[in-house]
Amino acid sequence: MAKEQRKKRVAPHVIQEERLKYLTDERRIKAVTVLFSDLEGRLHMLDYDKKFLVKSFDNLTFDGSSIRGFTAQRESDLRLGIDWSAFYWAPADIFGAGKVLVFGEVIDKNGQTYSADIRGVLKKFSQEMYDEHGYTLNAANEIEGFLFEGVDAERLYHENGSFQYVNKGGYYHSLPGDPLREFIDTTAEVQRAMGFENEKDHPEVAPSQFEINYSYGEVVAAADQIQLYKLICRQVATQMGMTASFLPKPVVGVNGSGMHTNISITKNGKNLFWDPKGEEKISKLAWQFTDRILTHGNDLCLLLNASVNAYRRLDPHFEAPNQIKASAVDRGSMIRIPIGNEKSARVEVRSVGPDANPYMVMHSIFKTGLNGETAKIKNLRQAERYLPDNVYTAIEDFRKAEWTTKLLGADVKARYADLKQASADRCPRLLGTIVKTPEVQFHHDVYNQLLWNQF
């Protein structure tokens, strides 16, 4: 019911009234976990006593200066609003008894969407496209990850120097009952319990690698589900004494992990990317969208591949999508045009890393695809152009691009670039042939104050 309300864009005040009544009446619920994401995409969680939240939901504040990429210390107070439509019931055996989850909206002191809360920025853009054009922006993500031995394997990498596989099978191959299969089965069951519409799950090509797929959703809900997917994976793995890792290339010599992002736009229930008579059976709008992404491929690279480690994945020897072109068949292309029909026609942006901020990914892809420029490059869709092979080039491209300023605003753009520069400066300039400890230690997903200050 909650998911349907969100799809149908039921008025926020109606949903708020229903949720507050539910929380008041439901005695089994003791606490509400409010989730929000920082500029780099790390998920933060605040637990509120239910009775307190019901009384004070419109006056929740927190210290923004403690969140990387948010306010400076001198202007630290930020407010949390509640997006009551993004409300999830959490299985007690995974998240603890008596809890529900809800996504928050970061609000600045003037009562506006906080500029560095990219979820809020994305939500605003999505609503504008619906109001102005009747567009519903849809996305589905294929998120790969690795399962490694031991709890906190990433945070202990600087001590251990390597990751240990839990399974050495391969694509689609994992015996029933082995640790990887048990992890996948448990995670998939939690997703079902939380309203994900699962499609298929399986071990991936590399040892101990997994992918658990679910159906598409409206763009903000889709990005929320990416955050929940990673949270669920990490929680299940921890309970099994293991680590779910979304580093793009944690082990050299085997395939890395991607987050292929499938995009479409509907209007009045009709898929605007479908055209049975169009090239590759997609519409003129879909090709215009694709051309704009290709035009800005280098500009966006740092947003879609947000870490030092991500540039190990953009290696052509391992099915890497590092060519700035579009193809129906070549999986080395940044954009693929999958086989589709009236319902499933879409474009697939393949170059995205699983550690990127999902709201940033969605915002940059959709806003670029709809509002970006189209380069006058001969044979744009098949030109010999490549994504950066290191984070330094990606940072340089990002900083000098006029489009990224339009996309994020000068202030947020500078903050994001500075965060990425700080991580890069702690790592060797040349990637080399082995994963270096700083790539993991100073990775934004792994970040904690203790590790960061060991420099």
pLDDT bracket for residue 292 (50, 70, 90):
very high
Contact of 335 with 393, CB cutoff 8 Å = no
Residue 243 pairs in a beta bridge with: 148
User: Is the pLDDT at 229 greater than 80, yes or no?
Assistant: yes
What per-residue confidence (pLDDT) applies to 170?
Answer: 61
User: Is the pLDDT at 176 greater than 80, yes or no?
Assistant: no
Place of tokens 């780099």: 40
What per-residue confidence (pLDDT) applies to 187?
Answer: 95
Mean pLDDT along residues 390-412: 97
Mean pLDDT along residues 144-160: 96
pLDDT bracket for residue 365 (50, 70, 90):
very high
d(CA 40, CA 445): 8
Is the torsion defined by CA of 437, 442, 446, 448 positive or negative? Answer: positive
Place of tokens 């009562």: 111
What per-residue confidence (pLDDT) applies to 77?
Answer: 82
Please write the tens of the pLDDT for every residue from 303-321: 999 999 999 999 877 678 9
User: Is the pLDDT at 152 greater than 80, yes or no?
Assistant: yes
User: Is the pLDDT at 420 greater than 60, yes or no?
Assistant: yes
Please write the tens of the pLDDT for every residue from 106-147: 998 888 999 999 999 999 999 999 999 999 999 999 999 999
CATH of domain 2-110: 3.10.20.70
Phi and psi angles of residue 400, each rounded to the nearest 5 degrees, phi first: -85, -10
One-letter amino acid of 314:
L
What per-residue confidence (pLDDT) applies to 175?
Answer: 66
Please write the tens of the pLDDT for every residue from 370-389: 999 999 998 999 999 999 99
Mean pLDDT along residues 20-30: 96
**Sequence ranges of the domains in the chain:** 2-110, 135-452
Chain centroid offset of residue 224 CA = 8
What per-residue confidence (pLDDT) applies to 250?
Answer: 96
Mean pLDDT along residues 277-304: 97
Q: Which of 35-39, 176-180, 426-430 has the lowest average pLDDT?
A: 176-180
Q: Which residue did the predictor score with more confidence, 391 or 318?
A: 391
Mean pLDDT along residues 244-262: 95
252: closest CA among 181, 162, 144?
162
Phi and psi angles of residue 264, each rounded to the nearest 5 degrees, phi first: -150, 165
User: Is the pLDDT at 177 greater than 80, yes or no?
Assistant: no
Pairing of strands 323-327, 333-336: parallel
Mean pLDDT along residues 149-172: 88
What per-residue confidence (pLDDT) applies to 378?
Answer: 87
User: Is the pLDDT at 172 greater than 60, yes or no?
Assistant: no
User: How far apart, in Å, are the Cα atoms of 44 and each of 47, 68, 85, 229, 330?
Assistant: 10, 11, 19, 14, 38
Place of tokens 């030092």: 308
pLDDT bracket for residue 339 (50, 70, 90):
very high
pLDDT bracket for residue 392 (50, 70, 90):
very high
Kindly report the CATH class assigned to 135-452: alpha beta
Mean pLDDT of the chain: 93
User: Is the pLDDT at 91 greater than 60, yes or no?
Assistant: yes
User: Is the pLDDT at 32 greater than 80, yes or no?
Assistant: yes
User: Is the pLDDT at 202 greater than 80, yes or no?
Assistant: no
pLDDT bracket for residue 206 (50, 70, 90):
confident
